[in-house]
Structure 1
Amino acid sequence: MAPISHLRAVSGQAEPRRTERPAEVRPLQLACPVTIQRYSDGKLSFKDDQIAEEADIRLTVNGQAEAILARTPGDDLNLVAGYLFSLSRVMCPEDILNIAFSYHGPSRVDVVLKTPVAVRRIYPSPRPVHIAPELLFELKELFERRQSLFKNTGSTHAAALFSVEGELISYGEDVGRHNAFDKAVGRALLEGTLESVTIAMLSSRLALELATKATTANIPVLCGFSAATSSAITYAERNNLSLVGRIKDNSFNVYANGWRFR
């Protein structure tokens, strides 16, 4: 699963290599300074603060309007790749024949895919991996150190993908929890490292849509800091996905397939 030459995973404003024109791209802004009123000690007072940037990007696939993604600007290439992968529109980077971003006026991305209709993804068999429970506490610390935008704004989600040994493979942060996961998956997809991912860690609750994203990427362990929903647990049980939530400093809940932890 080698990345194709004209695409690359990025951590800033995303464009194809051959069409980079930095002077025409708006400066990347992830957080905005604002003045707010804060109530404390029985009174309101003005205070300088930072809020996370949220802006739309319009996605067109093979000439047809696909979606409007409300996202934190940046990592746009990773976001689009991960989004299309989660929908089974692409299976590998080579399925993306061309991608062009425009940041003049409303942000827009036009994608040309090799396969004009949705492909049916064949899920590989779940890998028989086993994980030491203590590893999740180490990954939690690493995860929280990477949440720089959340520390400044308090309003973003994050997703991190790890190998079975605990190596950080990719990371995404966004105002949307689905976007954060798509950014992380998209980066690993474009860098050819997705097959090495064993653990996906999320800051958000473990909902059904996020569980399906994990199985689409053949990630056997999905964990997070919040709780799981009933539909996510049912789905995880049926699809051999290990689902772990409410990770604290020395405890966590296992909702499905705890046999991988020993």
Structure 2
Amino acid sequence: MKSSVQHTSILKVGNDTHQEVDLLAVEEPMEIRLTYGPVDGRQQSSISVTMRTPGHDFELALGFLFSEGIIQSYEDVISIRYCRGGDQSEKQEAAKENIVRVVLSPDTRLDLQRLQRNFYTTSSCGVCGKASIEALDTLCSPPRSDKFSVNVKAVHQAPAKLRAAQLVFNHTGGIHAAGLFDKDGKLLLWREDVGRHNALDKLLGTSLIGNKFPKDCFLLLSGRVSFELVQKALMGGIAMIAAVGAPSSLAVQLAHQYDITLIGFVRDQKFNIYSGSHRVALEEKTPTFT
């Protein structure tokens, strides 16, 4: 298994300028290949290449397929593995760990043209938004339940809890995270990656494997909130998103349309609620969105 960190030599400049060894978050491409179609007419297709941090690769692939509406559950998948095998050199074998093959059930229908997107993403931003919010109507469920609320204290404490759990960030300082918290602020599950969207896909894929999508929980993101991150949370049935950074205009628009609570700038004992304030138990009466 590939490491998530890599050593590098640096020249540290300061009062005592010197050379030392530093750790970097690894960033490598991962290709997702699909085998699909009826038993008597199986087809293969490469549908995505994403720059990711190695680790939880299978969960990343599954979360991506799920958040894009290609699979509905783990039962749609027959097998998932790296493309290894044959008489390969060590270097070639290592490269194979950057290719994940997912074999779908013959009963799982796949319409590649319907996806209407370029499945190439980078670690800095995803070329992965739908042409419009309306395109999600055929994939997403109705607005989520309002049976839970989160108190202000739980939101304030979440970033520190997620940061403490980030082992790769603690070593490198250069990686994103996505974490799921229950309504009382307990960290249930988290994943790290150089890509924000990859961290969330790993989280969704892990939940998909165990068929345990936590109910009545909120998602915390370590960076900004873009449209595709709200889209992925929506596909996972997550009703509340909090983030350390800012949301984009389209992210807020999507949150409003699907009644998702969206919170940004969670830092310094402050935050902004952009949508769905009814799920945040505030200490005093404040205006709610209409």
Same fold (TM > 0.5): yes
User: 2:50: which partner in 1?
Assistant: 69
Q: Distance in 2 between matches of 1:252 and 1:222?
A: 12
Q: SS in structure 2 opposite 1:40?
A: coil
In the alignment, the residues of structure 1 paired with residue 68 and residue 187 of structure 2 have an alpha-carbon distance, to the nearest angstrom, of: 24
Work out which of the residue numbers 203, 206, 209 in structure 2 matches 1:184: 203
Structural mapping, 1:154-233, within 5 Å: 154-196=173-215, 198-233=217-252
Please name the residue that 1:52 is paired with.
25
Structure 1 residue 51, shift from structure 2 partner: 0.5
Question: Which residue of structure 2 aligns with residue 121 of structure 1?
Answer: 139
Deviation at 1:125, TM superposition (A): 3.8
AA at the equivalent of 1:209: E
Distance in 2, matches of 1:75 and 1:259, equals: 35
Tell which deviates more after alignment, 191-200 or 108-117: 191-200
User: Secondary structure in 2 aligned to 1:80?
Assistant: helix
CA offsets, 1:188-209, max 9 Å, x none? 1111221425211010101111
1:36 aligns with 2:55: no
> Which amino acid is 1:109 matched to?
V
For the structure 1 residues 130 and 236, does the alpha-carbon distance in structure 2 shift closer, same or farther, using more than 3 Å as the test? same
C-alpha offsets along residues 4-52 of structure 1, whole Å, 9 cap, x if unaligned?
xxxxxxxxxxxxxxxxxxxxxxx431111111233335x9643321111
Q: How many aligned residue pairs are there?
A: 235
Specify which of 151, 155, 161 is matched with residue 136 of structure 1. Answer: 155
Report if the CA contact (8 A) 2:143-2:259 is conserved.
Answer: no
Equivalent residues in 2 for 1:90-105, closer than 5 Å? 90-102=71-83, 104-105=93-94
Paired residue type of 2:221: L
The corresponding residue for 1:23 is none
Structure 2 runs not aligned, ≥5 long: 36-43, 85-92, 115-137, 282-290
Equivalent residue for 1:254? 273
Whole-angstrom CA distance in 1 between matches of 2:76 and 2:255: 28
Indicate how the Cα distance of structure 1 residues 197 and 37 shifts in structure 2: closer, same or farther if over 3 A, else same: farther
Q: Distance in 2 between matches of 1:232 and 1:125?
A: 15
User: Aligned equivalents of 2:140 and 2:230: distance in 1?
Assistant: 17
TM-score by length of 1: 0.83
- Assess if the C-alpha contact under 8 Å between 2:143 and 2:258 holds in 1: no
Counterpart-to-counterpart distance in 2, 1:221 and 1:122: 16
Query: Larger C-alpha radius of gyration, 1 or 2?
Result: 2
Match of 2:103 in 1: 112
* 2-structure distance, mates of 1:162, 1:193: 14
* Mean Cα deviation higher: 185-194 or 158-167: 158-167
Checking the alignment, whether the CA contact within 8 Å between 2:67 and 2:236 is kept in structure 1 is: yes
Corresponding residue number in structure 2 for 1:14: none
Does the aligned pair in 2 maintain the 1:170–1:185 contact within 8 Å? no
Instruction: For structure 1, list consecutive stretches of 5 or more residues without a partner in the other structure.
Output: 1-26
Task: State the alpha-carbon separation in 2 of the partners of residues 92 and 81 from structure 1.
Answer: 9
